[in-house]
Amino acid sequence: MEVEHEGHLMNLAVRADARRSRLGAALLSTLIAEARRRGIERLTLEVRPSNDAALALYEAAGFKEDGRRHGYYSDTGEDALVMWSGPLEGPEMTAVAASLAASAEVALAEFRPARYEGPPADEGRDDLILAIESSCDETAAAVLRGGRTILSSVVASQIDFHSRFGGVVPEIASRKHTEAIVGVVDEALAQAGVTLDDLTAIAVTYGPGLVGALVVGVSYAKGLALATGLPLVGVNHLEGHLFASVLAEPDIAPPLVALLVSGGHTSLVHVPEWGEYHTLGSTIDDATGEAFDKVAKALGLGYPGGPAITRLAAQGDPAAIPFPRPMLRSDDLDFSLSGLKTAVVTYIAKERAAGRELRPADIAASFQAAVIDVQVAKATRAVEESGVETFLIGGGVAANPALRAALTAAMQRRGVRVSVPPLDLCTDNAAMIGAAAHLHLWRGETLGLSAEAVPDLRLG
């Protein structure tokens, strides 16, 4: 409680079976840090004189007795000792805060969940997760055993409905998800040969993505969780893309660096262990998939652009047109793709205006080469700076064969293990969501039934 510039510590409690583990010090340390942050000058508290452990903690934390309240505790009639800290910004309390923070670090380390190594080889294989994905333009459901074995994976693509508009139309996406979701989930259960009664948990992508698309999956998953009483596990779509690699190569393990390249995201992520993600760099404008889509549109190739550019590029000369390599030499791990896209679009317009015949295959190949050069340079730099020996790539653009080959070659030259998921696991699917959900289920991280879609959800 805060009164003027003084803080009154009302209660500090540690569960009986967790005492003597310095958790009290951890709590007090957090409290003092918060009080300092709020500009509180001093802290006061009352404590029972018979509570030796608490007295020792407060004394070690620089609190001093300053009077008593007689008969304060109504249960035993005991007095309360009134204690005051020194000035929080003074040298003594600054030293106390630092030493408490250090012991808090030690105490909390013991309570951190153990490292997730994936499911053990033969036990824990029986849990069955139904995963649902609806963040963009695919309605997908999958059933996984033990977080690694795909019993079924159904993907209903809406591409046909969006392609005539040259991109994903959010309103159409939500409506199509609503139409498809029941059938897709039923089909996933049927193909896996299981019923809702056999399941251990329901998992769902709750962000990032289109809000109207995400809510369809989240609402349906919540309904299933409510009806069955099963836990509901929320998964970050990007974490799903990371776990796609694990489905193909179950022994892939952190520490690693991942390049996530999709229609909405482009980033390099350092993964010291599963569940811990540090973004090293990301695009400052367009996503890589978005650049493919926009260049394809300029070439009249339709949506989605990635596969169309890929096919065309295979027949073209990657050195034909020297498109810019934005940020290639910048001193960071960020990307920029809108300049490159503009350069390609401008080139096409100029050639047309000059009445020259376009060579779409050369344009596609040259654009693709520019993208790849930057991605390879940044990815290898990220791997070198983090000192990891494993690299993986995820997201729809990871389906691009030239990018896969270039990254694989660059990493192998450095003795780094590379994992590139099979094509159907690169683009959006629910199996990868189920694989990531296994980690959260194992950690006991579930969403309540008040869970909501988070369109701008971040990784880490």
CA–CA dist 107, 78 (Å, integer):
31
Query: Under the criterion CB under 5 A, does residue 205 sit at the interface with Zn ion?
Result: no
Amino acid type, 381: R
88 exposed, middle or buried (CB, 10 Å; 0-12, 13-18, 19+)? buried
- 139 touching Zn ion, by CB under 5 A: no
Calculate helix-pair angle for 237-248, 431-443, nearest 10 degrees.
100
The tokens 């389906």 sit on which residue? Answer: 399
How far apart are the two ends of the chain, measured CA to CA in Å? Answer: 31
| Nearest distance, CB of residue 260 and ligand KG4, angstroms | 9
Q: What is the DSSP letter of 119?
A: S
Token pair, residue 258, equals 């991942």
Question: Do 131 and 441 meet the contact criterion of CB atoms below 8 Å apart?
Answer: no
Q: How far is the CB of 322 from Zn ion (least distance, A)?
A: 31
CB of 168 to Zn ion, least distance (A): 12
Task: Kindly tell me which of 308 and 426 has the beta carbon lying closer to Zn ion.
Answer: 426
Residue 305 as a binder of ligand KG4 (CB under 6 A): the answer is: yes
| 119 contributes a contact to ligand KG4 by CB under 6 A | no
Angle 417-397-423 (CA atoms, 0-180°, nearest 5)? 70
Among residues 306, 318, 360, 434, the one that binds ligand KG4 under rule CB under 6 A: 306
CA 458 to chain centre: 6
CB of 209 to ligand KG4, least distance (A): 7
Q: What is the closest distance, in whole angstroms, from the C-beta atom of residue 253 to Zn ion in the complex?
A: 22
H/E run at residue 378:
helix 360-386
Residue 336 binding result from ligand KG4, Zn ion, none, given CB thresholds of 5 to 8 Å by partner type = none
Q: How far apart are alpha carbons 118 and 108 in whole angstroms?
A: 23
- Return d(Cα 126, Cα 138) in angstroms, integer: 28
- CA pair distance 11, 54, nearest whole angstrom: 11
Residues 132-161 that bind ligand KG4 (CB under 6 A): 136
Q: Which region, judged by CB under 6 A, interacts with ligand KG4, from 19-27, 49-57, 332-340, 397-405? A: 397-405
For residue 288, state whether it binds Zn ion (rule: CB under 5 A): no
∠ CA 410-411-412, nearest 5°, is 95
CB 417 within 8 A of CB 240: no
Q: Is 153 in the site for Zn ion (CB under 5 A)?
A: no
Cβ closer to ligand KG4: 374 or 397? Answer: 397
- Containing 386, the helix (H) or strand (E) segment is helix 360-386
Go through the chain and tell me how many residues it has. Answer: 460
Out of 174, 205, 266, 400, name the contact with ligand KG4 by CB under 6 A.
400
Regarding 429 and contact with Zn ion (CB under 5 A), the answer is no
What residue 400 binds from ligand KG4, Zn ion, none (CB within 5 to 8 A, per partner kind)?
Answer: ligand KG4
Q: Candidates 55-63, 172-180, 390-398, 443-451 — which segment interacts with ligand KG4 by CB under 6 A?
A: 390-398
Among 139, 205, 245, 262, binds Zn ion (CB under 5 A): 262
Closest residue to Zn ion using C-beta atoms: 262
**Contact between 7 and ligand KG4 per CB under 6 A:** no
Count CB-CB contacts under 10 A for residue 408: 17
**Which lies closer to ligand KG4 via its Cβ, residue 293 or residue 334?**
293
Please state the closest distance from residue 213 (CB atom) to ligand KG4, in A: 11
Distances (CA, A) of 346 to 298, 306, 370: 10, 20, 16
Specify the stretch interacting with Zn ion by CB under 5 A; choose among 108-116, 172-180, 335-343, 427-435.
427-435
Q: How far is the CB of 267 from Zn ion (least distance, A)?
A: 12
Helix (H, G, I), strand (E, B) or coil at 29: helix
- Residue 29 is a binding residue for Zn ion (CB under 5 A): no
Specify the residue, 86 or 207, whose C-beta has the smaller distance to Zn ion.
207
Instruction: Pick from 81, 151, 428, 446 the residue near Zn ion by CB under 5 A.
Output: 428
Q: Looking at 139, 236, 245, 310, which residue binds ligand KG4 (CB under 6 A)?
A: 310
Site residues (vs ligand KG4, CB under 6 A): 136, 262-264, 289, 292-293, 304-307, 310, 395-397, 399-400, 427-428
